[in-house]
Structures are given as structure tokens and as C-alpha cells.
Amino acid sequence: MEAGAVICVVFIMSKQTTYQARLPDSQGVIQYPDNEHEIWQALYDRQKGNLPHYACDAYLKGLEDLALPADRIPQLGEIDAVLQQATGWKTAAVPALISFEKFFQLLANQEFPVATFIRSKEEFDYLQEPDIFHEIFGHCPLLTNPSFARFSHEYGKLGLAASKEERVFLARLYWFTVEFGLIRQTNDELKIYGGGILSSPGETLYAMSDTPVVKPFDLLDILRTPYRIDIMQPIYYAIDSIDYLDEIVKMDIMGAVTKARQLGLHAPMFEPKSKAS
């Protein structure tokens, strides 16, 4: 079964990795071998047909602005040139796995972590480590959007100041927005803005089907909702517009975290991992 998409580095708790990030040469260029460019092209080709139907308008505009190459892995400098002009953001090359602290620190500095490796053919459909396709194709287009960029920046600052226990609850907010968020556009049309969905053809089609539960955004509800990283998500939360991310930033997020910790989590909508097929 194809599980959920690769996930953002903040939610990987294990320090074990089977991948090694590639380093730039003396000219600052990462020399990827041809077979890795071919994997990028195959991933890009497989998902590009879904995007006009299912991706939100802000993502599609960002994808157009980035002008990502379809036949090769882009250099981070190409991405930075667009992001810096649009919202002041840039990418930061990182190893496959980084700590919570480093993740929040980067976002607070308006730097988006990108692991400079791409998945193998054996893990084409699913891997638990965030590769460059997930980070660049899934997330960077929306970092050209001011509301999404502000939300990511404020989230980083909150996480940097939070305790270890509070960060566990903050992770759920990121999961159900930046990674697996949906949006209702004109005429109540449901679209995708979460990068975890947009970088996964299987999750894209699943999220747009009648199978999962789709609920309106509710901060406290989200903070109390358990998730698993290795399955299709049984529940998604939808915001009313990409600009609604600015409204979330104005909410008392840490106050809601305190209340969520007091109330405890909702019953999960999935089996424990040990019992799941």
C-alpha cells in the first residue's frame, strides 16, 4: 500500500537514516548523477497531471513563478532567487534528519530546510524521510505566497520558544496545515495546499476522494488530533482561503496548546501501528 507522502523533517524523531545528503562543489553546485535526475523527472511527470485539478490557486501560481525544471533536480540557488524576491525566504541545505530545535530555528530565520538527496527507485512511492522532491516540489511554491510565508515564519518563532512538551502539540498544527492542509476556494471547491499531499500522487487522489473526513479548521481540535506518518490520513482540516493563515497567526496558539494539554487527545481514527495491516 502506498502510505502518506514523505513528511517534513520536524516530525522524524529517529536519528537513523539510509540516505546521505549531497554536498556542493567548490562552485556551490551539487552534482547529481543522471539516475537521480531521472527519478526527479519521473516524480514530476507523475504528479503534474494532477495539479491543475487538485492544487490550490496559490500553489499553482507559486509553481509557475518558480519555473521548476521537469527534467532535472534544481539547484537551491535557483529556488532562492525567486523566494528572496517574493517573500524574503530562502532554502537551507540540511542532512536527511535534523532536530526540532534546528527546524524551528531555520523557520524563525525565514529559511526552509531542504535535504539534498532524492529517494531511491525502491522507495519511489513512500519514504519517511523528507527528500528534495518533497521539500522543493511540495512546499517551496507556497513560500512565494505572503500569507503562507508569514505563517511559516511565526510558527518557527513559536516553536523556538516552546518547551519540548509544547512542541509535540505544535507539530499537529504543522501537520494538518503545511503538510496535509486542504482549502475551500470559490464556490466551496476543495483544493490542496499541504505539501505532504502535493508531493504524493496517491495521497492527492485519496484526499480528493469521498473516503477521508474533511473538517473545517479548528485550532483546539487540530491540536488534540492524533496522526500517523505511515498511512493515508483519515482526517483533513480545510481553511477558507490561503489568507486565513494570517488569521491563524493572530490566534492565541500557545494558549490553545495549554488547553489541549489539559483536555488530552481525541481517540485516534486509526489502529495502533502494531495492529495495522
pLDDT in tens, the chain (277 residues): 233 333 444 444 444 667 888 999 988 899 999 999 999 999 999 998 899 999 999 999 999 999 999 999 999 999 999 999 999 999 999 987 788 899 999 999 999 999 999 988 877 766 667 899 999 999 999 999 999 999 999 999 999 999 999 999 999 999 999 999 999 988 889 999 999 999 988 899 999 999 999 999 999 999 999 998 888 899 999 999 999 999 999 999 999 999 999 999 998 888 877 644 3
Q: How many CA atoms lie within 13 A of 232 on its CB side?
A: 18
Known binding-site residues equal 134, 139, 179
CA distance linking residue 199 with residue 224, whole number of Å:
26
pTM equals: 0.91
Interatomic CA distance for residues 114 and 133, integer angstroms: 9
What is residue 12's three-state secondary structure?
coil
Known binding residues for Fe cation are 134, 139, 179
State the Cα–Cα distance between residues 12 and 186, nearest whole angstrom. 35
| Residues taking part in catalysis | 134, 139, 179, 199
Q: What domains can be seen in the chain, in order of their start residue?
A: 34-263 (1.10.800.10)
Is the torsion defined by CA of 11, 14, 16, 18 positive or negative? negative
